């Protein structure tokens, strides 16, 4: 089964979704399952994981409703207040939702680079394994030192880094980013999504070769059993069509073995998120 491990749905709200600025007008509209389904089918993708874009339980329930209505939405990464005093109760409630696989916090938007190391946040993370929930790490590359320390604190918690931790692909720089990405190599509980690359590149003038050194570094650090394909649709539309995003990965992995390609395109996501 081929899986897109990272995409979003929303009913566009200009207040709630203020992060979608006017230079992103191409995604200032609704994006729902009926928009994505034919696109996945045309690219030979069998299912997807819907990831939160808003920090509310309303968002979590919205995605779960869509997943319940569409069997090809195989899993949901939602949001819950991981700093809440009643978190255990909230996780117990959500554990009844079989398609809810894990949670994410938009750490990249937090002003502190070491937000992940806050005591209240770490307390919340420590409870996730009780309910077999995963956690998606969304950070800018400048936040990688804290992310590395954070991942080491919880060696039995399944983590996945979204969007390669957003390296500066536009400038072509590997400085700082590669050093810390390489340090994740021995942390077998941490995976990485090859997603969100086109929006870290020059939106209008990127080329295939722009991504090679970054993908090389990810494969070197995580191997072929801890990486997974993600489109970041519809955000990717700022810089590329869905077929173009697929082609970037296809061209890079075409020299890999059939088993390695199968792991990247679906097996790893199925295992990480326990998809059915």
Summarize pLDDT for 167-212 with one digit per residue, the tens: 999 999 999 999 999 999 999 999 999 999 999 999 999 999 999 9
pLDDT of residue 80: 98
pLDDT of residue 31: 98
Provide the 10 A C-beta neighbour count for residue 238. Answer: 17
pLDDT classification of 112: cutoffs 50, 70, 90: very high
- Cβ contacts of residue 10 below 8 Å, gap of 6+? 17, 30, 31, 53, 54
Task: Return the residue matching tokens 């970041």.
Answer: 232
Do residues 225 and 189 make contact, with C-beta atoms less than 8 angstroms apart? no
Rounded distance, CA 274 to CA 99, Å?
A: 9
- Cβ contacts of residue 43 below 8 Å, gap of 6+? 242, 243, 246
pLDDT of residue 93: 98
Please state, rounded to an integer, the average pLDDT across all residues of the chain: 98
Q: Give the tens place of pLDDT for each residue, 5-55.
A: 999 999 999 999 999 999 999 999 999 999 999 999 999 999 999 999 999
Rounded distance, CA 29 to CA 230, Å?
A: 21
Q: Is 134 helix (H, G, I), strand (E, B) or coil?
A: strand
Rounded distance, CA 177 to CA 167, Å?
A: 6
- Cβ contacts of residue 192 below 8 Å, gap of 6+? 160, 161, 164, 184, 218, 221, 222, 226, 227, 228
Tokens of 200: 């870290």
Rounded distance, CA 123 to CA 134, Å?
A: 15
- Cβ contacts of residue 26 below 8 Å, gap of 6+? 237, 238
User: What percent of the chain is predicted at pLDDT more than 90?
Assistant: 99
pLDDT of residue 105: 98
pLDDT of residue 61: 98
User: What percent of the chain is predicted at pLDDT more than 70?
Assistant: 100
Q: What is the mean pLDDT of residues 251-263?
A: 98
Q: Give the tens place of pLDDT for each residue, 126-166.
A: 999 999 999 999 999 999 999 999 999 999 999 999 999 99
Radius of gyration of the chain (CA): 17
pLDDT of residue 268: 98
Rounded distance, CA 228 to CA 173, Å?
A: 23
Task: Return the residue matching tokens 């994505």.
Answer: 36
Q: What is the pTM of this model?
A: 0.97
Q: Give the tens place of pLDDT for each residue, 158-175.
A: 999 999 999 999 999 999
Do residues 197 and 248 make contact, with C-beta atoms less than 8 angstroms apart? yes
Rounded distance, CA 82 to CA 85, Å?
A: 9
64-69 long-range contacts, CB within 8 A, separation 24+ = 64/97, 64/99, 64/100, 66/9, 66/32, 66/33, 67/99, 68/99, 69/33
pLDDT classification of 275: cutoffs 50, 70, 90: very high
């Amino acid at each position: 089964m081929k899986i897109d491990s990272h995409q979003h749905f929303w009913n566009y709200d200009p207040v709630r979704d203020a992060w979608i600025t006017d230079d992103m007008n191409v995604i200032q509209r609704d994006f729902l399952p009926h928009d994505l389904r034919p696109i996945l089918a045309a690219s030979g993708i069998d299912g997807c994981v819907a990831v939160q874009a808003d920090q509310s339980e309303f968002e979590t329930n919205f995605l779960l409703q869509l997943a319940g209505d569409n069997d090809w939405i195989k899993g949901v990464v939602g949001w819950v207040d991981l700093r809440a005093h009643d978190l255990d109760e909230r996780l117990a409630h959500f554990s009844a939702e079989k398609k809810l696989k894990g949670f994410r916090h938009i750490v990249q938007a937090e002003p502190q680079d070491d937000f992940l190391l806050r005591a209240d946040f770490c307390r919340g993370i420590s409870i996730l394994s009780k309910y077999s929930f995963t956690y998606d790490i969304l950070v800018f590359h400048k936040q990688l030192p804290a992310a590395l320390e954070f991942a080491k604190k919880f060696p039995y918690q399944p983590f996945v880094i979204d969007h390669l931790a957003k390296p500066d692909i536009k400038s072509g720089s590997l400085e700082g980013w590669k050093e810390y990405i390489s340090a994740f190599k021995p942390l077998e509980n941490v995976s990485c999504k090859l997603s969100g690359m086109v929006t870290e590149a020059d939106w209008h003038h990127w080329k295939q070769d722009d991504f090679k050194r970054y993908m090389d570094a990810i494969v070197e650090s995580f191997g072929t059993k801890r990486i997974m394909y993600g489109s970041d649709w519809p955000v990717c539309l700022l810089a590329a069509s869905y077929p173009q995003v697929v082609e970037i990965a296809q061209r890079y992995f075409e020299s890999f073995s059939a088993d390695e390609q199968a792991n990247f395109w679906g097996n790893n996501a199925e295992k990480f998120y326990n998809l059915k």
